[in-house]
Amino acid sequence: MSELILFWHRRDLRIGDNTGLAAARKQSPKVVGVFCLDPNILERDDVAPVRVEYMIGCLQALQEQYAQIGSQLLILHTDPRQAIPTLAAALNAKAVFWNWDVEPYSQIRDRTIIDALKEKGIQFLDENWDQILHTPAEIRTGNNSPYTVYTPFWKNWSSKPKAPPAETLQTAEGLTPAEQEIAKNAGAISLPTAKDLGFIWDGDLILPPGETAAQDRLAEFTYKAITEYQEQRNFPATDGTSQLSAALKFGVIGIRTVWQATIAAQENSRSEETTASIRTWQQELAWREFYQHAMYHFPELARGAYRDAFKNFPWETNNAHFQAWCGGKTGYPIVDAAMRQLNESGWMHNRCRMIVASFLTKDLLINPQLGEKYFMQKLIDGDLSANNGGWQWSASSGMDPKPVRIFNPASQSQKFDPDAEYIRQWLPELRSIDTEYLVTGKITPLERRAVGYPEPIVDHKQQQQKFKQRYQQQKEII
Ligand code: FAD
């Protein structure tokens, strides 16, 4: 009888192009998947119901894939630090394999599990860097230190050859009926719904769950939209971006597969313009890795500002302003439209993420950590590294060398939503108002009252000055 290898899925909810899973299958034909619904994560106060709904859908799809290749995906719902070693021991597994993750919690958790497996004499393989194209050890400066600035990171990262997709599992042996009983006794359960777990999301999902849907989206995007990405990506009213972020967050599609699709698109490209456009999208993939490397090297980023000038910044504690921002009721149409998109769809366009993050920190002078957490509570793609990176960048508190970046909501709307299509889509109460007033924000008090839309809660110019003064003071102190 073949020896069993348990493959622990975490942020790699797929069978194809999965480096750790492919390595497990090479060692033994008997590979069984396991996913642990970790209460240490699910019981945190920053979990978005839409994210859980998507994740559960992906797990269901993964269970079906395992069944098709002849094996199973087991589900646990308890602390993995005990559950994984216990299950492995009960099933007499030879080894447990998994793919490494950059997040501080995962790293501490995994080390505990490694110790427990060692104690039980079970082998493990955790060194697969499946979710990124280059490991933090590969991309370092000439002085052998981590990059803190994106552009030189990109130069180095893009110059390195990329691995092809890992072999997709075609077949695997699963557990015998007797072993399935043992797994049940060791905690394996049927896959619950998001509702069973206390998360209710009744809206649509921006991307259907599962590997096939993610592959279809990638194929569709790289067939055409990628060639217009550079031109379209900043307009929130158009579908100019891939909307693959949730799939990338949960590893529902392999990053090597994604990269390969961009290379194929480049090979088919007939103009410098389209090649440049594809390059721009590749740069976004590199931003994703830049932030993951940053989180790996500087886990303290998860706890607050990177730059000294922001470590003790006198943020305001104005709950009414914060609630207005969360609810899309600031009186600034582009900000409110974006927040309503987030609340109603569980996703927000990147341009608008930057606009609302700038507004919270530079106009309302509210601590970016509050915004970062609110995003995690709402986003389908909520991801510690990318979200933290985006917030630190927008708050000017991160590694980015440009110190203070303040977005003017009116100029942002005029430039990126010139016909107010996006504003009208998410703020139906403003549909009858002239485009010019919507994009400049110059809606009269009378009109605001008539449609039940609030007055601006702050004055952009004044707040900008206030922010700059406080920033100068902080710089003088340090
Ligand atoms: P595309 O434009 O098609 O880009 C392709 C992929 O590249 C994305 O799916 C994503 O994986 C990656 N990517 C693109 N831009 C960035 C970026 N700036 N940083 C890191 N990765 C990037 N992205 C998340 O995945 N999760 C988050 O929680 C998150 N929070 C953010 C918070 C703020 C304040 C800001 C400014 C940005 C945040 N981003 C986050 C980055 C970016 O907004 C989203 O990745 C993007 O909007 C997702 O849409 P898309 O898949 O259509 O992206």
Specify the DSSP class assigned to residue 167. P
Give the DSSP H or E segment for 246.
helix 245-249
Q: Does the CB atom of residue 351 touch ligand 1 within 6 A?
A: no
- Residue 127 confidence (pLDDT): 79
Tell me what the pLDDT averaged over the chain comes to: 97
Ligand 1 centre and the CA of 34: distance in Å? 28
79 close to 229: Cβ distance less than 8 angstroms: no
Q: What pLDDT digit, counting tens, does each position of 170-182 carry?
A: 999 999 999 999 9
- Residue 477 confidence (pLDDT): 87
Ligand 1 centre and the CA of 13: distance in Å? 19
- For 149, phi then psi, to 5°, come to -125, 135
CA–CA separation, 432 and 451 (whole Å)? 9
Work out the average pLDDT over 238-253.
98
Atom of ligand 1 nearest to the CA of 247: 9
Any idea what the Cα angle at residue 70 is, between residues 123 and 57, rounded to 5°?
Answer: 90
Give the DSSP H or E segment for 100.
none
113 close to 85: Cβ distance less than 8 angstroms: yes
Q: What pLDDT digit, counting tens, does each position of 337-376 carry?
A: 999 999 999 999 999 999 999 999 999 999 999 999 999 9
Ligand 1 centre and the CA of 391: distance in Å? 11
Q: What pLDDT digit, counting tens, does each position of 63-90 carry?
A: 999 999 999 999 999 999 999 999 999 9
Binding residues for FAD: 229, 241-245, 281, 284-291, 381-383
The pair of three-digit structure tokens given for residue 265, joined into one six-digit string: 């698109």
CA–CA separation, 260 and 357 (whole Å)? 33
Q: Does the CB atom of residue 242 touch ligand 1 within 6 A?
A: yes
pLDDT reading at 469 higher than 90? yes
33 close to 62: Cβ distance less than 8 angstroms: yes
At 81, the amino acid letter reads R
Specify the DSSP class assigned to residue 106. H
Atom of ligand 1 nearest to the CA of 229: 2
- Residue 444 confidence (pLDDT): 96
Q: Using CB atoms within 10 A of its CB, is residue 170 exposed (0-12), middle (13-18) or buried (19+)?
A: exposed
Atom of ligand 1 nearest to the CA of 249: 25
> Can you tell me whether residue 121 is helix, strand or coil?
coil
CA–CA separation, 169 and 21 (whole Å)? 8
b/e map 439-477, b = 16+ CB within 10 Å: bbbebeeeebeeeebeebbbebeebbebbeebbeebeee
Work out the average pLDDT over 166-173.
96
CA–CA separation, 435 and 97 (whole Å)? 56
Strand 73-76 to 4-9 pairing:
unpaired
24 close to 5: Cβ distance less than 8 angstroms: yes
Strand 30-36 to 73-76 pairing:
parallel
Ligand 1 centre and the CA of 321: distance in Å? 26
ipTM value: 0.99
Mutation pick for ligand 1 pocket among 284, 289, 367, 388 (CB with most ligand atoms within 8 Å): 284
Percent of the chain beyond pLDDT 90?
Answer: 96
155 close to 282: Cβ distance less than 8 angstroms: no
Mutation pick for ligand 1 pocket among 206, 288, 379 (CB with most ligand atoms within 8 Å): 288
pLDDT reading at 301 higher than 80? yes
CA–CA separation, 384 and 373 (whole Å)? 10
pTM given for the model: 0.98
Q: What pLDDT digit, counting tens, does each position of 22-65 carry?
A: 999 999 999 999 999 999 999 999 999 999 999 999 999 999 99
The pair of three-digit structure tokens given for residue 14, joined into one six-digit string: 């797929």
pLDDT reading at 107 higher than 90? yes
